[in-house]
Structure 1
């Protein structure tokens, strides 16, 4: 887990995969598909969204573009605000 962004409105965390093995039906140990994702927390609404798969890949491309172009905080916030509609899960501390 790696925190990428933290502001008054948002937190973005990169969830990195941990290599793991699972037992196949034949009893052999098989590597499990390791996938990464991003958790975006909207502090204003108290909701979060987890991006994985193709959503995570698209978001990764956005991060790479930000690294090249050094956006303003407002540009980052505007982009993250576009993901707020996907945020359906309330933030729960467990």
Structure 2
């Protein structure tokens, strides 16, 4: 687990789970993804698979432009409509 972004509005955490022994087509399976939390709406989403890969690629391209916090937040805001899970603190 690694925090990759934290602003007043959002936090993004990357999860890399170790490769398992299960194999598909001769390749070890690995899982991971990103948890995106909207701090004000108190909702979150966990993305994995193709959506996580697209997120990673788009964020990498955005970072190359040296974005402001507002530009990063604007990008992450695209995912807020998908957030259905309330953030619950234990």
- Distance of 1:20 and 1:33 partners within structure 2: 6
Is the CA contact (8 Å cut-off) linking 2:33 and 2:46 kept in structure 1? Answer: yes
Give RMSD over aligned pairs.
1.5
Q: Does 1:9 align with 2:9?
A: yes
Counterpart in 2 of 1:58? 54
TM-score (norm 2): 0.85
Displacement, 1:35? 1.8
Displacement, 1:62? 1.4
Q: Secondary structure at the match of 2:73?
A: helix
**Larger gyration radius, structure 1 or structure 2:** 1
Runs of 4+ displaced beyond 6 Å: none
Counterpart in 2 of 1:76? 72
TM-score (norm 1): 0.82
Q: Which runs of 5+ in 2 are unaligned?
A: none
Q: How many residues align?
A: 86
Counterpart in 2 of 1:27? none
